[in-house]
Amino acid sequence: MHAMAKKPNSFMNWLGRQIGHVKGAVQAPVPPQPTVVYRKETVQEAALPQRPQEILRRTTIDEVVVPPKQMQKRADEAPPQSPPSPQRPG
């Protein structure tokens, strides 16, 4: 017999799997969030000529984001990729 024999799908089996998923998610490290250096939010509103009771609203968000230091290190450590050298017939 195998170490983990197949068991019928029961409520307790399902519940144990769900608790395991939640436990794994809680214990997983949280990745660092990028830093927002600059943020400009612009809102434009205009009444529609055909339907004056309705307003058209446009929201534009401009951001400058700096990635976390871990991501920068990975990018710095990656060797620069050079184009393949052409092979000469020999």
Asked which of 6-15, 27-36, 45-54, 57-66 is least confident by mean pLDDT, the reply is: 6-15
Asked which of 5-19, 23-37, 49-63 is least confident by mean pLDDT, the reply is: 5-19
The β-bridge partners of 42 are 60
| Percent of the chain clearing pLDDT 90 (strictly above) | 47
Any idea which residue has 């969030």 for tokens? Answer: 33
* Distance from C-alpha of 16 to C-alpha of 13, rounded to nearest angstrom: 5
pLDDT in tens, 41-80: 999 999 998 998 999 999 999 999 998 875 556 556 655 5
Mean pLDDT computed over every residue of the chain: 81
Q: What mean pLDDT do residues 23-33 have? A: 91
* Distance from C-alpha of 25 to C-alpha of 19, rounded to nearest angstrom: 10
